[in-house]
Amino acid sequence: MDTYTIAGSGLVVSRIAYGCMKIGGSPGTRVFTDSERNAVGKLITTACEQGITLIDHADIYAHGNSERIFGEAMRDLPSLRDRITLQSKCGIWHKDDPNPGDPARYDFSYGHLVSSVEGSLKRLNTDRLDILLLHRPDPLGEPEEVARAFDELHASGKVINFGVSNHTPLQIELLKRYVKQPLIVNQL
């Protein structure tokens, strides 16, 4: 598997990422079976054996179930954590979340970003994200709020590197005026 170094980070990752959007099944609170956890464990192990080291998540995938089943599977595979680059995204609310009637929306507020990362870490059964991406641009987002959240998440060691997803060059330049951390990725 070909690899490359993500500029500004020192991270060496596979050219192919393993996208975990569908591994959690349908949204809703559920208990995963041993068979489901074992299947996800086999997917992770097989990906690593093939040289795929970049694992992509988002807090909204299957309403958190994708991260949760991945984290449950990783409990049985602790030696793999340091062999993978774990990336997740945040900044989107589903319709009716957290309250019935709430609209689907983007939210780059300090509180939402920090609580989203803490939820992802818990579901993923890890102490850190190697990369956190802002999941699509928030047209009403305040870059100062993003900078405050990034500073706290980085200082606490919960997030090592930062980036964005589906941002335009001008949106990235605006964020760069406020955040201290390099934005190392724009996942399109």
What is residue 28's predicted lDDT score, i.e. its pLDDT?
73
For the annotated catalytic residues, the residue numbers are 61
Torsion on CA atoms 88, 39, 125, 184, rounded to nearest 10: -20
pTM above 0.85, yes or no: yes
Average pLDDT over residues 81-92: 96
Q: In CATH, which superfamily holds the domain spanning 3-22+34-187?
A: NADP-dependent oxidoreductase domain (3.20.20.100)
Domain boundaries, the chain: 3-22+34-187
Give me the chain's average pLDDT, please.
95
- Interatomic CA distance for residues 8 and 161, integer angstroms: 9
Q: At what angle do helices 110-124 and 65-75 cross, to 10 degrees?
A: 40
Residue 27: pLDDT band with limits 50, 70, 90: confident
Pairing verdict, β 85-90 and 54-56 = parallel
Structure confidence at residue 26 (pLDDT): 77
Closest CA to 130 of 66, 74, 57: 57
